[in-house]
Structures are given as structure tokens and as C-alpha cells.
Amino acid sequence: MSVIEQPIIEAKSLTMRYPGGVTALSDLELSVQPGITGLVGANGAGKSTLIKILLGLITPSSGQVRVLGLDAQEQGPEIRARVGYMPEHDCLPADVSATEFVTHLGRMSGLPPTAAKEQAAEALRHVGLHEERYRQIGTFSTGMKQRVKLAQALVGNPGLLLLDEPTNGLDPSGRDAMLALIRRIGSEFGIAVVVASHLLSEIERICDHLVAIDGGKLLRAASLDSMTQALPWLAIEVDEGSEPLRARLEGAGLTVSLQGRALLVRLDGDPVFDTVRDTIADLDLPLTRLEHRRHHVEELFERRELDEPTEAKL
Amino acid sequence: MTAVEPSAVPAARTAPEPATPAVVSFDHVTHWYGNVVAVNDISLELGPGVTGLLGPNGAGKSTILHLLSGFLSPSRGSVTIGGVAPWRHPAIFDTVGLVPERDSVYAFLTAREFVLASAKLHKLPDPKAAAERALQLVEMIDAADRPIQTYSKGMRQRAKVAAALVHDPKVLLLDEPFNGMDPRQRMHMMDLLRDLGQRGRTILFSSHILEEVERLADTVQVVVAGRLAASGDYRTIRRLMTTRPHVFLLRSTDDRELARVLMASPAVQGVALTKDGLEVRASDHGTFTRKLARSCRDAGIGLREVIPSDESLESVFAYLVGA
Amino acid sequence: MSTPTTSVIHDIGYKPYTGPRLGRGQILRALYVHGLRAVFGFGRGPKAKIVPWFVTLVMVIPAALNVYASSENKPLILDYSLMGVRMMLFTVLLVAVSAPELVTRDLRHHTLPLYFSRPLRRGDYPLAKLLALFTGVLAVTLLPVLITYLGQVASSTSGHMIWLDTRAAFPGLFVSVLQSAVLSVLALLLAASTSRRVIATGLIAIFFLVTLAISQVMANALGTSWKTHQESCVVPALDPNAPNLSGNLFGVGGGVNGPPDFVINQYCQGVNAREYGIDNVTGVKDPNKPGYADITVTYETPVYSAIAKAGGLANPVYVVEGLRIWVFNATDSDLPNPSPLGPLYGAEAALIVLGGSAGLFLRYRKVSVS
């Protein structure tokens, strides 16, 4: 895979004010790198406005956007030829087979007739629709429909996929499969993916980067690793005897606190691990968990509620 | 009450029953639409607190909620709330509030009008005050005078919850309440439900987002193809699946040596060396966890991490559905 | 190089597409072709083919009869210029079924965001659909004109006859093109106002039938009076080769048994003996021209009120028909000649096509993508 120097999406002081006086985006600075990026926090106007601007469908009130190196205001059709978009809502006809539908949309993405057929077959294979692809879409389950929606976004061989709530309406096994698929597209296929999702746990599972937008402004953009960094706390869970364990650990000079069913031990250095191990062994306790506490993406939203003024400066 | 269907584990086992009085009870309830059996011989009891209702699409979750809210009558068996059967018993609406999954058709109303209408429907003595209180509870005062059709999905959801809460019901039923909510709205809704549960309300909500259920619900009811597959605390449910080895991810100062040590134990079925550490499959959860720390110490191995990788609600659910 | 005996595991993983990509124009064309196929029910189930092919078949029937008539050297069963109006209900049936087929499915299933997030511009979608429906309807309505014309040409004996026939076919072409345009635009605009196919079909059918009824009431029933005309002309009194030209006319001067219609039609300008009732013919031998007679024809023509003349404006098919009558000064129609309201008919036809298209484009500007 070639290394792309420029960001996949780059927005500079992007502002969108609607005639009614609603400000959907205000002075948004954004830079999306290759890989899978989660887009969170932009409910309602902000998210759909951003998608429309990225696809070059509406002109922002001010600011610039480049998508795949193309100017969104000048080169909308070129961008749309190279971006696959999977909408949040139902968008599939009931009385057409998946193959026919995806082939037609392949044509609409600019593929010649034969290539559209081949690419549609490939896209459906990659999303895991096999013999059912000749059946009418109306007979599909929610999970299969989501796959068709993904296949139509994939058919034009995009450089960027915009997925809007791709797990919407899926049950747990359907979600698992969809997330695994997105992960594969982002890593094996080498296609940059932007996933808009309200589910932070999902974003933590599949994304490399995260962009959080709030009130039309960038709240945070960072790699997911940096947002889920390990904290210097060790969570210990034992099936029984957590009180004596706590007393012994404190007796050994460790800082211990109780959080839910877990004991949190301050991790000052590697000897702490051995102290914990030996104490548990001495007390003959069943150890069910020994884990680093990590930051969660969710804290991003919790913190803002606590001290709004400082975060608003971001 | 905790019960696991034989389909999930070879023999149904029951954990000790908590002593809370049952508010909601299903007694051998079956419901069918034509030839489709949506709910099949379900018996369960719910007390105060938050209960998650889980199951794959089409497993019968909505039917259960509709049976409880009196929209449907059971084809067989009985459903009672506080000892009263909800079907054709309008008085039940004083104790039950339902938040349906679908958006209301009254999108042209403002949230305040919508909640007020609900308050009047319940013939509350002071509908205005009740509506204000409900709107305050879901933090919708600021936007209460805009038509519902201008709302985001999360706001609509909150307006519906306010309407369902307006008469301060003892039992609150919610069908996919978090759908479409952004993270902050989600957290807020979770806090609200948790708080209501702690104050003695019986709350039953269906959700596909297991991480949320795990964080919010005290107990879960898992429905698979119309049958109640399991109910209770999901960790306890997991322990009841004795035939399924428990999977742990271990990291240590010497994974290879640790693997050798662990393989010697009869409690361990298998060990795999992965790039992230050791994946251990323990057939005997009790013995394995009790021996782990000591084995490490005896072998001089520093234990860095022990993560039970199939103890989450997600894996419990997958086992129940897949079994 | 691999020989047949070499074992290989082929990479069937994801491969980026490196072939050519078509521009907006070609995508538009693909959407147009897709729509045109849909008009005739291709790419859909067998049920979708019933109406378009039934209509096509019905259209061929008068054309086949015409071809038979030409081969027998008889006048046409259905004249070119009247095909559009006479077959109107079938054309309306076609658009009432095809227009919803073209647009309601995408509206109903919210498929439009998938189009608008692709290279096409907003206006391209309605444009392709409009062109597709127009082409489809044009092909169907032009079919009888074309078949009849070919039949006539095949049985022609001279170049002049072919020329005359070409001229006669021209109003048919005129009606076919305009009617297709007007019907397509209106039907598509109506269809795009709802996402339910059945409702769209009903809307279109009701719209055309109700306006048709209004039009007919206005054109026929209201305010028609008769005006008496007298026309003097010189006709050949005697032709030994034409035995029909006998009788007492030339000696005594007339009565209703004057010269036959075609003589009057030929020699008395402005009189259409077949269309108007000839009340009386008087005549004397022309004193200056041996073998000719001076006759005076008395006949009545209907005088239409302004309401009757404006009647055609109520229905789009009649707008086209009125325009034809006015442009070609035709007298073969059920409708009165709209003169002096002719320009109004032209303006309305233009308004329907242009305004309707604009409305359709506006309709699709409002569709949201996300």
C-alpha cells in the first residue's frame, strides 16, 4: 500500500450556518488520517451537515475542506466518485436482488457495465453475502440488509468510506459481525473508514482514531491508544475475601480503594505485582481479575459536563 | 430468581433466590400470532430495580413488553403486575409506563404539549405540575416548546420517557431506550434509570447494546426464540455453565514457563501462546483461580494481568444464543 | 510462468479496481437507459411488463388496419393526426403505470441518498427519469404513425404520393412528440409527490380523466351556435368522364341535390362539405364559360363560444390537440379551432413542459442525503 502523505479529510475553520439561524458547525478544525476513525458526539444537525459538506453537496458558510486531496466545494463529483457512503437509515428497495441493486449503484459510481457486475459480485462476497445475493432484498434480515448497504458503499472501490451508524438495529451477533467486517475493511482492504457512532464501546473496539465533535466544534481528535491509556491503577477482583485482601495489601503499604466489586491498587512499580500475587497466594483466594485500569473514551463526555468553561476553549 | 434453561447448560441450576417481592410476574405465558409463537412458556418474576431484557432480533422481547403493558393478552398462562392482569384493565396504566421503540405520531406537538396530554390522559390532579416535573427529570425543559419533529432522536426518546414517567409509575417498560442517543444523552438516561431503579421502581428495558445492559442492569432476562434462556445476574449465569471452559488472558514475566506450569494442572484444559500473552481455557473455574497466584509464586513468575475474556455479558449472551 | 502441474493458491482477497471510471455524462446515460428499460418493465418482474406491452400492442392495432387499408387503396382507418387523441386513454394508462415505477420506488425506500452521494448532481436524477419516460412514451405513440407511414409508402405508386403522405404524417409526429412531453412531465411530477406507487397511479389517472371530462363538457356543451354562410363559386357543369356529374343542377339551378361533396370541396374555397351541413345549393349556367356553372352554396358552421374554445386548455392532451388544430388549421377534430386562443394553447403546452420540469427539479432539491 502506498503511503498517503496528505490527510484523508482536512477541514479548516469550517463553519456552517443555516438561514434559520442554526449553527451546525462552527470553526471546525479537522484532520482525519488513514485507518479507521470514529466520529462521535455529533448528533442531529452537526453530523449530517458534516457528511453533506464532505460529499460536496452543500457549501459551507466559510472555511475549506479537502477530501482525498480534492476540494469539496470545487470537486464534489470527483469526491463522490471516490467516497462510499452508507446512510444510517433504511435505503434499500425490497423487490430487487442484492446483485442487481449493487450492480446498478456501481454503474452510478461510474463503473463501466462489466466492471460494475464484477465489482458488485466482489463487494457482496467481501461483506459475506453469498447465495442469498440473488434473492430479493425484501426477504433479508436486518443484518443482511446492513451488509448490502455496506456493499453498495464498497462497490465503487472508494478511497474513503463514510459509515453512518453501521450497527443500527443489529442484535449482538449482527453487531459483532459488522464490526469485524469494518475492522477488516479498514486494515486489510486499506480503505480509510470514518464511522459515525454513538456507541463509544464500538469505537473503542474498532477504531484507530477518534474525532469527537460537540456543539459544532472539535472536542477532541486523537489516536484511540492515547485515549485509552493505562492508568497507574491495578484492578483486582477475587471471588471471595476481598476485605482481608484489602487489609493485607494496605498493611503492605499499598494504596487501595474499593470500586464496585474491584479493589484498586496504586501501581507504583513492578514490585506491586509481586506483592499482590504473594498476598493472594498467602490468603488462598480465587483471583478472577488482575487488570490495568484504562482511560475510557467516555470520560471525554463526562469531564465536559463537570467543567464546561475550560473544555469550551478547545 | 435465577434460572437457566437446559438448552444452555446440561442441567438447570438455580442460585439462591433474593427475597425481594415480585412486582411483575409471568406464569407459564405463551403468546402466538397465528402460527407464530412469539413467546413460549415463559415464567419470570421481576422485583424493584433495573432489569435488562435481551435476545436476538425477533426473539419476542417486544411481545413481552406489550404483554406487560396490556396491549396483548397472553394466549396461555397469566401476566400480572402487582397481582393484577394488565390485559383489558385500564387501571393498570396508573402503575405502568411504556416507552415504545417507535416514534410517536404526534410529531407536530411540542414536548410540553405531548407530556401534558399524557398527564391529562392519566387524569392527574395537577397535570401541569406533573408534566413540568417529568420534563425536568429528563432534562428537557429548555427544548420543551419546540415541536417534536424538530428533535434529534435522543431528544425524542427523552420526550417519550417523560410522557411515560408523568404519572410516576411503579413499573417502567422501555423498548430500546438508547437507540439514536448520543453518548451524553445515553449516560444521562442511564443515570436516570439507575436512579429510578434505586428508588424502588421496577424497570425493564430491552437493548441490543450489551455493554450498556452490563453497566445498567442488576439482572438480565435472556430470551431466545420465544423461550426464556436464562435470568439473573449474568456473572452467576456464566458460572452455571459448567461444561464450558472459562477463558482467561494472562500476561506474565515468562509466558512460556507459565504455560508449562498451568498445563500440569487438571483444572486447565488448554493453553495457547498468543502475541498478547497466554490464552488459558480452565475447566474448573474455582480450582484454577484459587491456584493461579500460588502457582506463579512457586514458579517464580511475575503475574502482570489476568483478564477473564468470556465473563462479559457479551460472551454470556453469545453462549446462551449459540447453545 | 506456471505450468499446469504447478500448484498455486490464488489471492482472492480484496483488490482495488484500477480500470476506467466514467464521467457524469455517462453515468447520466446509464441512469437514463436504466429508466427506459423500467418503462417497459425490463429488469423487473413479469407483472411490470403487462401494462407497457399491452399498450404497445393496442397501439399497433389501428396501424395494422391502416396498413391493410393502404394495400387495398382505401382511405386510412385512423388518420395520422387523430392517432394521438383517439389513443389517448392508452397513453395515459402507460404513463400512469410507468411514471410511478420510475420514481416512487426510490422515494418509498429512501434510496435517493445513495444516488445523491454519487457523482451525479441533484438535477441529473429527475432529468434522466424524465428523458426515459419521454422516450418510452414517444416510442409507443410514434409506433402507429411510423407503421402507417411505412404501409402508405410501400403501397405508393409515385414520389408525389409519398410526399403528400409525408406531409399528412407530420401532424401525427407533432402530436406524438408534444403529447409525450406533456404527459411525461405531468405524470412524473404527480408520481414524485407521493411514495406510494398505487396512490401515484391513481393520482395520474384521476388527474387526466377529470380534466378530460371538464374539457369535453366545456368544448361540446357550452355555448355552441350555428352561423349561416353563403359561398359562390364556379364549378364544371359537365364532364362526360364523370357520370356522377349528371342531373338537373346545371339547367334549373340546384336544390340539395347539387354537385357531390368533393366537387364543392375542390372548387368552393373555405367550404368543407363533409364537415358542414350543406343546406342548399343554387346555380345557373355560367354565361361566360361554357361547360361551367355558377353556384351558391348555403351552409352552416358552428360558432364556438370563448368557453368552448378554451375548453381544451383544461386537459393536457387536449392542449396538444388544440394546438395541432390551430397550427395546422385542421377541421377533422372533435375540438373547435381555438383561434384566436391558439397562442394560449401554445403557451400552456410550453408552461407545462418547462414549469413541470422545473417543479420536478425543485422536488428533488429538497431530498436530504443523511
Which of A58-62, B11-15, C193-197 has the weakest average pLDDT? B11-15
Distance CA B185, CA B194 (A): 14
| Structure letter (DSSP) for residue C254 | B
Contact state of B187 with A44 under an 8 Å Cβ cutoff: no
Contact state of A78 with C119 under an 8 Å Cβ cutoff: yes
Contact state of C117 with A83 under an 8 Å Cβ cutoff: yes
Max Cα–Cα distance, chain A, nearest Å: 76
Residues of A whose CB is below 8 A from C34: 104, 107
Distance CA B152, CA C105 (A): 27
| Structure letter (DSSP) for residue B15 | P
In this prediction, residue A313 carries a pLDDT of 30
From the list C103, C86, C84, the residue with the least C-alpha distance to C183 is C84
Residues of A whose CB is below 8 A from C121: 77
For residue B150, how many C-alpha atoms fall within 13 Å in the half-sphere facing its CB? 10
Question: Which of A87, A93, A188 faces C370 most closely, judged by CB atoms?
Answer: A87
* The pLDDT of residue A154 is above 60: yes
In this prediction, residue A45 carries a pLDDT of 59
Backbone angles phi, psi at A278, to 5 degrees: -70, -40
Backbone angles phi, psi at A47, to 5 degrees: -70, -50
In this prediction, residue B4 carries a pLDDT of 45
From the list B111, B68, B75, the residue with the least C-alpha distance to B92 is B68
Question: Which of C27, C117, C368 faces A55 most closely, judged by CB atoms?
Answer: C117
Chain B: residue nearest A141 by CA? B57
Contact state of B302 with A239 under an 8 Å Cβ cutoff: no
Q: What ranges do the domains of chain A cover?
A: 9-227, 230-294
Question: Which of B208, B293, B303 faces A175 most closely, judged by CB atoms?
Answer: B208
Q: Dump pLDDT digits (tens) for B92-144.
A: 777 888 888 877 667 788 889 999 988 888 888 888 999 999 998 888 888 88
* The pLDDT of residue A3 is above 60: no
- Domain limits for position B185: 3-239
- The pLDDT-based confidence of B323 (bands split at 50, 70, 90) is low
Q: Which helix (H) or strand (E) holds C232?
A: strand C225-236
Strand partners, B205: B52, B174
Chains near B (3 or more Cβ pairs under 8 Å)? A
Question: Which of A87, A109, A156 faces C113 most closely, judged by CB atoms?
Answer: A87
Distance CA A85, CA A153 (A): 5
From the list A288, A228, A206, the residue with the least C-alpha distance to B311 is A288
Residues of A whose CB is below 8 A from B55: 171
Distance CA B65, CA B98 (A): 8
Contact state of A277 with B209 under an 8 Å Cβ cutoff: no
In this prediction, residue A36 carries a pLDDT of 95
Q: What is the ipTM of this complex?
A: 0.86
Q: Dump pLDDT digits (tens) for A285-304.
A: 999 999 998 888 888 777 54
Mean pLDDT of chain A, nearest integer:
87
In this prediction, residue A305 carries a pLDDT of 43
Question: Which of C14, C106, C121 faces A188 most closely, judged by CB atoms?
Answer: C14
The CATH number corresponding to A230-294 among 1.10.3720.10, 3.60.21.10, 3.30.70.980, 3.40.50.880 equals 3.30.70.980
In this prediction, residue B22 carries a pLDDT of 62
Shortest Cα–Cα distance, A76 to chain C (Å): 7
Q: Dump pLDDT digits (tens) for A95-145.
A: 899 999 999 999 999 999 999 999 999 999 999 998 899 999 999 998 999
Question: Which of B57, B293, B317 faces A277 most closely, judged by CB atoms?
Answer: B293
In this prediction, residue C277 carries a pLDDT of 66
> Are B and C neighbours with ≥3 CB pairs closer than 8 A?
no
Contact state of A80 with C117 under an 8 Å Cβ cutoff: yes
Shortest Cα–Cα distance, C186 to chain A (Å): 25
Chain B: residue nearest A288 by CA? B289
Domain A9-227 has CATH 3.90.320.10: no
Interface test with C, best of A82, A107, A114, A184 (most C CBs within 10 A): A107
Contact state of C369 with A87 under an 8 Å Cβ cutoff: yes
Shortest Cα–Cα distance, A107 to chain C (Å): 7
Mean pLDDT of chain B, nearest integer:
85
Chain B: residue nearest A271 by CA? B302
Distance CA B16, CA B25 (A): 18
- In this structure, the answer to whether residues B195 and B259 fall within a common structural domain is no
In this prediction, residue C279 carries a pLDDT of 72
Higher pLDDT, A176 or B323: A176
The cell 425524542 sits on which residue? Answer: B156
Question: Which alpha helices (H) appear in chain B, and where do they start and end?
Answer: 61-68, 111-121, 127-137, 153-165, 183-198, 210-216, 234-240, 255-263, 285-299, 313-322
- In this structure, the answer to whether residues B62 and B210 fall within a common structural domain is yes
Q: Dump pLDDT digits (tens) for A194-209.
A: 999 988 888 989 999 9
- In this structure, the answer to whether residues B231 and B296 fall within a common structural domain is no
- In this structure, the answer to whether residues B75 and B114 fall within a common structural domain is yes
Q: Dump pLDDT digits (tens) for B155-209.
A: 888 888 888 888 888 899 999 888 878 888 888 889 889 998 998 899 999 998 8
In this prediction, residue A268 carries a pLDDT of 87
Q: Which helix (H) or strand (E) holds C185?
A: helix C159-191
Instruction: Return per-residue pLDDT of chain C as tens, 370 residues.
Output: 555 678 888 888 888 888 899 988 999 999 999 999 999 998 877 888 999 999 999 999 999 999 999 888 888 888 888 888 889 999 999 999 999 999 999 999 999 999 999 999 889 999 999 999 999 999 999 999 999 999 988 888 888 888 888 988 999 999 999 999 999 999 999 999 998 999 999 999 999 999 999 988 888 765 667 778 777 777 776 544 444 444 444 443 444 456 666 677 777 776 666 566 677 777 777 777 776 777 777 877 777 888 888 888 889 999 999 999 999 988 777 788 888 888 999 999 999 999 999 999 999 988 777 6
Which of A24-28, B217-221, C346-350 has the weakest average pLDDT? A24-28
Please state whether B232 falls in left (phi above 0), alpha (psi between -120 and 50) or beta: left
In this prediction, residue B90 carries a pLDDT of 74
Shortest Cα–Cα distance, A53 to chain B (Å): 20
Chain A: residue nearest B284 by CA? A286
Provide the grid cell at B18.
433474593
Strand partners, A70: A67
Which of A65-74, B221-230, C298-307 has the weakest average pLDDT? C298-307
The cell 442469498 sits on which residue? Answer: A132
Calculate ∠ Cα B316-B175-B6, nearest 5°: 35
Residues of A whose CB is below 8 A from B184: 41, 301, 305
Q: What is the CATH number of the domain that holds B283?
A: 3.30.70.100
- In this structure, the answer to whether residues B72 and B16 fall within a common structural domain is yes
Q: Dump pLDDT digits (tens) for B72-82.
A: 889 999 888 88
Last residue of a domain, one of B209, B239, B269: B239
Provide the grid cell at A6.
496528505
In this prediction, residue C210 carries a pLDDT of 95
Contact state of C369 with A156 under an 8 Å Cβ cutoff: no
Query: Mean per-residue pLDDT for A245-264?
Result: 89
Strand pairing class (B219-224; B49-54): parallel
In this prediction, residue B19 carries a pLDDT of 46
Higher pLDDT, C20 or B9: C20
Chains near A (3 or more Cβ pairs under 8 Å)? B, C
In this prediction, residue C261 carries a pLDDT of 67
Answer whether A173 touches B (CB < 8 Å). Answer: yes
Last residue of a domain, one of B205, B239, B273: B239
Q: What ranges do the domains of chain C cover?
A: 24-222+346-365, 225-303
In this prediction, residue C177 carries a pLDDT of 96
Strand partners, B129: none
Shortest Cα–Cα distance, B71 to chain A (Å): 23
Question: Which of C27, C110, C370 faces A108 most closely, judged by CB atoms?
Answer: C27
Which of B 203-242 lie inside 8 A of A, CB atoms?
A: 208-211
Chain B: residue nearest A238 by CA? B289
Answer whether A77 touches C (CB < 8 Å). Answer: yes
Count of domains for chain B: 2
Shortest Cα–Cα distance, C12 to chain A (Å): 9
Contact state of C109 with A92 under an 8 Å Cβ cutoff: yes
Chains near C (3 or more Cβ pairs under 8 Å)? A
Residues B167/B124, Cβ–Cβ less than 8 Å: yes
In this prediction, residue B172 carries a pLDDT of 92
In this prediction, residue C224 carries a pLDDT of 67
Q: DSSP string covering A156-215, please?
A: T--SEEEEESTTTT--HHHHHHHHHHHHHHHHTS--EEEEE-S-HHHHHHH-SEEEEEET
